[in-house]
């Protein structure tokens, strides 16, 4: 076992999905960076012991030593869900992530993003990031994982870059025979639990309720472009924001899919369960801000699986190295 706890510097922390997954894997987040006040309020509320730099990552100067640097730079520019503009300035924030890696030289790092980061039009960002890491002495593993294969009741594909300074980390593999968790298993009890945190249902207009009453499981309302989730399988991806009005007009706010039996969209808590957040993790800010934090997050159970694999590799690398140094 590692002789000391492994200290994590978390960039673009958001609502903390990745960090609580890493915590479940036995890694300790000690510093978080995010410019969104509502996300920072969530972190401070749930983990007052984690330090928070609330501001632009471009102004963040790391102090102290970290064993790991982790984070998911914003992905709207890479996302296949959005317009995916290759010149979106947010596409270049990985360079800030790299600057901080260069300054802190952690033993390992983890970068998470939408699978679209590996698409032809964005791949030069990924290639540049990897070649910069190689020049610093990092060995890199890249892959796309589906959260549903790691106990998350949601089909959600995400790209992970893992790197080790002088050693090669590996992504976790799907456990043989592991069953997918269905949406009903994940949120069924919330129908009779109105007091769960962040579980206030939206009051949709009567004509919307009338439409959604008649939708079958898996069916999409063509006007609102939203579907009723299946009860017996993982939910489709929960997204951070934006939706469509009846005339195809783009709406701000949080617009998750429709409940498998009720004529309304999922609540923030139901969406958080679909993302595998524990109910003890409370989201702060407006309902839109809560939904954004949930939809942007790495599902904690996926973060846990990746964290366990990363930690296992790092611990054995550290043990081997300390053995060599002491001649044992």
Q: Which of 9, 14, 266, 314 binds ligand SAM (CB under 6 A)?
A: 14
The residue with tokens 């549903």 is 148
* DSSP letters spanning 252-266: -S----B-SSSSSBP
Q: Which of 56, 102, 127, 320 binds ligand SAM (CB under 6 A)?
A: 56
Give the contact letters, 88-127, x = binds to ligand SAM (CB under 6 A), - = no: -----x----------------------------------
Instruction: Decide: is 39 part of the binding site for ligand SAM (CB under 6 A).
Output: yes
Q: Is 327 left (phi over 0), alpha (psi -120 to 50) or beta?
A: left
Copy the structure tokens of residue 263: 């004529």
Instruction: Decide: is 44 part of the binding site for ligand SAM (CB under 6 A).
Output: no
Is the CB of 96 or the CB of 208 nearer to ligand SAM?
96
Site residues for ligand SAM, 166-185, by CB under 6 A, read none
Residue 202 exposure: Cα atoms within 13 Å on the Cβ side: 25
Measured between alpha carbons, how far is 32 from 10 in angstroms, rounded to an integer? 5
- The set of residues, in sequence order, having a beta carbon less than 8 Å from that of 277 and lying 6+ positions away, is 17, 20, 294, 297, 299, 300
Q: Which of 8, 9, 17, 27 binds ligand SAM (CB under 6 A)?
A: 17
Per the DSSP assignment, residues forming a β-bridge with 71 are 11, 111
Q: Are 68 and 9 in contact (CB under 8 A)?
A: yes
- The set of residues, in sequence order, having a beta carbon less than 8 Å from that of 51 and lying 6+ positions away, is 30, 31, 32
In the complex, the smallest distance separating the C-beta of residue 52 from ligand SAM, rounded to whole angstroms, is: 11
Q: Are 110 and 161 in contact (CB under 8 A)?
A: yes
Instruction: Decide: is 266 part of the binding site for ligand SAM (CB under 6 A).
Output: no
- The set of residues, in sequence order, having a beta carbon less than 8 Å from that of 56 and lying 6+ positions away, is 35
Q: Which of 7, 35, 157, 264 binds ligand SAM (CB under 6 A)?
A: 35
Instruction: Decide: is 15 part of the binding site for ligand SAM (CB under 6 A).
Output: yes
In the complex, the smallest distance separating the C-beta of residue 111 from ligand SAM, rounded to whole angstroms, is: 10
Site residues for ligand SAM, 61-90, by CB under 6 A, read 72, 74-75
**Known catalytic membership, residue 75:** yes
Instruction: Decide: is 31 part of the binding site for ligand SAM (CB under 6 A).
Output: no
In the complex, the smallest distance separating the C-beta of residue 141 from ligand SAM, rounded to whole angstroms, is: 19
The two most distant CA atoms of the chain are separated, in Å, by: 75
Instruction: Decide: is 34 part of the binding site for ligand SAM (CB under 6 A).
Output: yes
Measured between alpha carbons, how far is 133 from 97 in angstroms, rounded to an integer? 11
In the complex, the smallest distance separating the C-beta of residue 243 from ligand SAM, rounded to whole angstroms, is: 18
Of 18, 40, 57, 75, which is the active-site residue? Answer: 75
Give the contact letters, 298-317, x = binds to ligand SAM (CB under 6 A), - = no: x-------------------
Q: Summarize as ranges the residues that interact with ligand SAM (CB under 6 A).
A: 12-18, 33-36, 39, 56-57, 72, 74-75, 93, 296-298
């Amino acid at each position: 076992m590692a002789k000391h706890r492994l200290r994590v510097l978390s960039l673009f922390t958001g609502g903390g999905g990745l960090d609580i997954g890493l915590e479940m894997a036995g890694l300790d987040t000690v510093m978080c960076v995010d410019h969104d006040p509502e996300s920072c309020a969530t972190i401070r509320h749930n983990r007052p012991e984690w330090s928070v730099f609330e501001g632009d990552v471009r102004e963040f100067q790391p102090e102290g030593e970290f064993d790991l640097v982790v984070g998911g730079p914003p992905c709207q520019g890479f996302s296949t869900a959005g317009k995916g503009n290759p010149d979106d300035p947010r596409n270049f924030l990985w360079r800030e992530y790299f600057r901080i890696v260069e300054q802190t030289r952690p033993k390992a790092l983890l970068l998470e993003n939408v699978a679209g980061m590996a698409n032809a039009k964005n791949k030069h960002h990924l290639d540049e990031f990897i070649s910069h890491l190689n020049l610093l002495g990092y060995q890199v593993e890249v892959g796309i994982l589906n959260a549903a294969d790691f106990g998350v009741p949601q089909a959600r594909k995400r790209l992970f870059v893992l790197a080790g300074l002088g050693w090669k980390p590996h992504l976790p593999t799907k456990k043989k025979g592991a069953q997918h968790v269905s949406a009903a298993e994940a949120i069924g009890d919330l129908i009779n639990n109105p007091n769960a945190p962040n579980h206030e249902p939206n009051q949709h207009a009567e004509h919307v309720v009338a439409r959604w009453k008649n939708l079958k499981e898996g069916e999409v309302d063509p006007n609102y472009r939203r579907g009723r989730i299946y009860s017996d399988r993982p939910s489709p991806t929960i997204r951070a924001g934006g939706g469509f009005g009846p005339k195809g007009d783009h709406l701000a706010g949080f617009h998750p899919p429709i409940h498998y039996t009720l004529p309304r969209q999922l609540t923030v808590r139901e969406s958080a369960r679909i993302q595998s957040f524990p109910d003890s993790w409370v989201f702060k800010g407006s309902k839109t801000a809560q939904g954004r934090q949930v939809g942007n997050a790495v599902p904690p159970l996926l973060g846990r699986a990746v964290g366990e694999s990363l930690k296992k590799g790092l611990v054995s690398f550290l043990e081997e190295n300390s053995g060599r140094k002491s001649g044992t």
